[in-house]
Amino acid sequence: MRIAVVGTGVIGASWTALFLAHGHEVVATDPAPDAEERLRAALPESDRLTFTADLAEAARRADFAQENGPERPEAKDAIFAVLDEHARPGVVLASSSSGLLPSRIQQACTRHPDRVLVGHPFNPPHLLPLVEVVPGALTSEETVGSAMDFYTTLGKRPIRLRRELPGHVANRLQAALWREAYSLVDQGAATVADIDTAIANGPGLRWALLGPFLNQHLSGGPGGIAHVLEHLGPPMEDWWADLGDPRLTPELTRKIVAGVADELAGADEAALTAARDELLTGLLAAKARTQGLT
């Protein structure tokens, strides 16, 4: 199968690595002058990877297209108009957009808007299994099924959204946590490092194994989540009412940036990223060996 990877920045390069690792051919395209050089430098040599600066050519050669262009409606319009015109009928056109609605993206496609959807990965796509498959108002069920099946063959864990929402699901959940984290810093209740420590050494460890509902269920003992909601539901509603509503003012932005700099304290960020990815790989392998963990 030949995959057109449109946009070869961080996300596009990671998708490319995943597609190649699963034996697919990739035709990559990106208008940046040094895009091919950067992509090939980031990946092992492969005779199944070709590059073209011509988006129309990549579209014509594709059996599936994964778009990773700028997160701006006008940029998506320009890209999807070309994909829609030149890709063969039936070729799924998937956007990696982290927040744009697929119905908005479909507006650029006058020929076959039914084969357009969002296939939003979690970064880095070559490691993290989640893909959020979001159909638009005009997306066909055949397109949704084809995308879900294709991502599954890559070892991904795709979820289908039943409703279009800005930010989809996972980013909205993250945003809820970030909102309170920023508020706690803004109030002076905790430092950036304290909050990172609290999550990385507390609930974050459990969240890496099971989602929020199953974690709550297991914490309820024999009564499960029904017991948790009965006994902790009322105080949890009080916590919700007390959660912050911060604004990213220049002052708060400076606090967050300074807090991260203090936390890193001159650490080698490339080494930190490599260590993170190594641990992610080990965690995913361990989860794969353990039955019952989602």
Return left, alpha or beta for 93; rule: phi > 0 is left, psi -120 to 50 is alpha, else beta. beta
Within 10 A of 259 (CB to CB), how many other CB atoms are there? 18
Could you give the CA distance from residue 245 to residue 249 in angstroms, rounded to a whole number? 12
Closest CA to 55 of 114, 102, 108: 108
CATH class of 170-288: mainly alpha
Q: At residue 292, does pLDDT exceed 80?
A: no
Q: How confident is the model at residue 291 (pLDDT cuts 50, 70, 90)?
A: confident
Is this prediction's pTM over 0.85? yes
CATH class of 2-160: alpha beta
Domain boundaries, the chain: 2-160, 170-288
Closest CA to 2 of 86, 82, 92, 84: 92
Q: pLDDT, tens digit, for every residue of 41-54? A: 999 888 999 999 99
Instruction: Supply the DSSP string of 189-253, one letter for each residue.
Output: SS-HHHHHHHHHTTHHHHHTTS-HHHHHHHHTGGGHHHHHHHHHHHHHHHHHHH-------HHHH
Q: pLDDT, tens digit, for every residue of 89-138? A: 999 999 999 989 999 999 999 999 999 999 999 999 999 999 999 999 99
The average confidence (pLDDT) of the chain is: 95
Mean pLDDT value across residues 241-259 = 96
Q: What is the pLDDT of residue 125?
A: 95
Q: What is the pLDDT of residue 136?
A: 97
Q: At residue 281, does pLDDT exceed 80?
A: yes
